[in-house]
Amino acid sequence: MPPADIATPSDATTPHERRIDVEPGVDLRVLVRNPEASGTPFVLVHGLASNAHLWDGVAESLASAGHPVASVDQRGHGQSSKPDHGYDFATVTADLVAIIAALGFRRPIVAGQSWGGNVVIELAATNPDSVAGVVAVDGGFIELGTRFADWDECRAVLTPPRLVGTPLEVIESHMRRAHPHWPESGIRGALANFDVRPDGTIAPWLTLDRHLMILKALFDHRPSTLFPAITLPVLLVPADTGDVAWTHDKRTAVDDALAALPNGDAHWFSPADHDIHAQHPEPLAEVLRSFAARITSKEQSP
């Protein structure tokens, strides 16, 4: 049975919002679907400057297939609390452990995209008893510290554009032109990255100072040092974006990760955008369901 504060919707794919305390004064918004279902639970974790709604298409598909699903607004993002601290990997993984416990999910599969992919790799390394397996969607192998000479160069290249005050209609028009093949769930999910002000202009939910704190933590993160000790099943889901040089480097990183992971596998999406979960929600949901089925089958084998 779900906790008493969850009202099970009549439609299993309809999200119910929960606020979960992860530390005093900090609570995170979690969108929960089909909490009483008997399938393997899933926790879905967004990337940097994103939000839980980017996972809507995937979450709806998983819930309709009989899985409990929770999509998380990480701290500083979306409708969650925005403290001025706690954007290091130890804290954001502790947030996920607290969410899993509060939901009553027993050893879910946790999937994260981009920065969220690195977060779930950290989770698998530091809290293996909390999860059955992790999926890193075009992330999990990101090591910015090896791509840039130093933090100053990384910050100069990857500091996001200043969008505060841009009309929503301009943002939406650009988004639709840039992603003409995305389903509506992906477009609406991406637009949910922004607070829409009364005058029709936007501001990112994630402020620039917090964005840079996360970017610095990602610059310092070395998932390659964690891979050999992770015995849980790990699925890497990289995107071949069509950028030949970058995809070549990514394939090398994925191959190196698979060589180091004791129980790793990969499923490429090609061609695909970095936001695979927004662009291809149904195919990605099928990959996640197959991963869950393989884990269940192995666990049940004599």
Q: What is the pLDDT of residues 136-160, one digit of tens each?
A: 999 999 999 999 999 999 999 999 9
Q: Say how many Å lie between the first and final Cα of the chain, rounded.
A: 29
> How many CB atoms are closer than 10 A to CB 145?
15
pLDDT score recorded for residue 4: 37
pLDDT score recorded for residue 212: 98
Q: Which of 139, 24, 142 is nearest to 86 (CA)?
A: 24
Tokens of 246: 């970058």
Distances from the Cα of 209 to the Cα of 87, 155, 159, angstroms? 11, 12, 10
Q: Are 194 and 168 in contact (CB under 8 A)?
A: yes
Domains belonging to the chain, first-starting first, are 16-148+214-300 (3.40.50.1820)
Element (H, E) at 152: helix 151-158
Compute the distance between CA of residue 277 and CA of residue 272 in angstroms, rounded to an integer: 10
Angle at 269 between CA 206 and CA 236, to 5 degrees: 70
Q: Are 92 and 74 in contact (CB under 8 A)?
A: yes
Q: What is the pLDDT of residues 109-126, one digit of tens each?
A: 999 999 999 999 999 999
**pLDDT of residue 2 exceeding 70:** no
Compute the distance between CA of residue 282 and CA of residue 150 in angstroms, rounded to an integer: 39
Q: What is the mean pLDDT of the chain?
A: 95
pLDDT score recorded for residue 205: 98
**pLDDT of residue 129 exceeding 50:** yes
Tokens of 92: 């954001």
pLDDT score recorded for residue 299: 82
pLDDT score recorded for residue 302: 66
Q: In this structure, are strands 202-204 and 194-196 parallel, antiparallel, or unpaired?
A: antiparallel
Q: Which residues pair with 203 in a beta bridge?
A: 195
Q: What is the pLDDT of residues 33-90, one digit of tens each?
A: 999 999 999 999 999 999 999 999 999 999 999 999 999 999 999 999 999 999 999 9
Q: What is the DSSP letter of 10?
A: S
270 residue type, one letter: S
Burial of 77 (0-12, 13-18, 19+ CB in 10 A): buried
